[in-house]
Amino acid sequence: MTITLPSPPFHFAEGISNLRDLGGYAISPTSSVRRGFLYRSARLSTVTPAGATYIVENLGIKTVYDLRSALESEKSPSYEFPSTTRRHVPVFMDQDASPEGLALRYVDYASEDGAAGFMRAYREILRGGASGGAYRSMFEHIRDQPDVPLLFHCTAGKDRTGVFAALTLRIAGVKDDDVIGWEYELTERGLAELRAEFVEKLIEKMPAFKENPASVDRMLGAKAEAIKAMLAWVDETYGSVEGYMKKEMGFSDECIRTIRRNLVIEEKAIL
């Protein structure tokens, strides 16, 4: 099955799902998040040579940040792109945090109040992303290498990747959480071709879910309410995303200003 995805923000690189540019979102009437600098995707283990060529030559990606655990990386080794540096920066070193892995640990994903279930997982992702250095490494890249395009991914490009993307859009100056929620929900379209595989793996590990497809939908979904609840929790707990970055990752105000400056371009948004 071939899925037609809007471009922008999606790109098609053969063998990579959920690949899209994080730029193009409005900050002010005359400024937006830079395009052609930050990309997000699902796993890279199934990319074809043609897809790899597109990543390197068309998108100009020079650094890949792999947020998967050691277990996930061993089970599904990442493709090594020519002329590109892969940095393995796990959010969780030893945990399977793929969609089905998180779903099994947080069975309240299946509750009718899906956002609350996701929040348990996303609070852990926020802690792991900060304490393990994964999120700091990528923010440092944005601060120190603004001319080096990067791609960050986990298994599905949904949870660990989605949390970092939302934090980045907030830091860039995107004030409307509905916009950030819309960007997060694009993952449901980006993962459409992989959905059957994730459902099969989840039911294999927990056969009871076969009789409750609505629960599976909630567990594997990417609804705006989940990422907006995460941002609300960050605001309540730290005062802002900037507060989270200062307290949990040690960034100074000057570092955050530089990160923000490197994410923004003075031009009208296209998304």
Q: What string of DSSP letters covers 125-174?
A: HHHHHHHTSHHHHHHHHHHH-TTS-EEEE-SSSSSHHHHHHHHHHHHHT-
Q: Is residue 196 part of a domain?
A: yes
Q: Is residue 75 part of a domain?
A: yes
The residue with greater pLDDT, 266 or 267, is 266
DSSP 78: P
Report CA-CA distances (Å) from 80 to 26, 37, 47, 88, 172.
Answer: 34, 20, 10, 12, 30
Average pLDDT over residues 184-191: 92
Q: Is residue 7 part of a domain?
A: no
User: Domain range holding 102?
Assistant: 20-265
Kindly report the CATH number assigned to the domain that includes residue 219: 3.90.190.10
Residue 206 — pLDDT band, cuts 50, 70, 90?
A: low
What pLDDT was estimated at residue 115? 74
Q: Is residue 271 part of a domain?
A: no
Is the bond preceding residue 149 a cis peptide, omega within 30 degrees?
Answer: no
What pLDDT was estimated at residue 1? 45
Residue 205 has pLDDT above 80, yes or no: no
Most confidently modeled range among 91-95, 112-116, 125-129: 125-129
Share of the chain above pLDDT 70, in %: 86
Average pLDDT over residues 155-172: 96
pTM of the model: 0.90
Average pLDDT over residues 77-93: 93
Q: Is residue 8 part of a domain?
A: no
The total number of structural domains that make up the chain: 1
Residue 152 has pLDDT above 70, yes or no: yes
Q: Is residue 193 part of a domain?
A: yes
Nearest Cα to Cα of residue 55 among 12, 26, 94: 12
User: Rounded mean pLDDT of the chain?
Assistant: 89
Average pLDDT over residues 132-147: 97
Q: Is residue 41 part of a domain?
A: yes
Residue 128 has pLDDT above 90, yes or no: yes
pLDDT digits (tens, 9 = 90+) for 45-71: 999 999 999 999 999 999 999 999 998
Q: Is residue 4 part of a domain?
A: no
What pLDDT was estimated at residue 119? 84
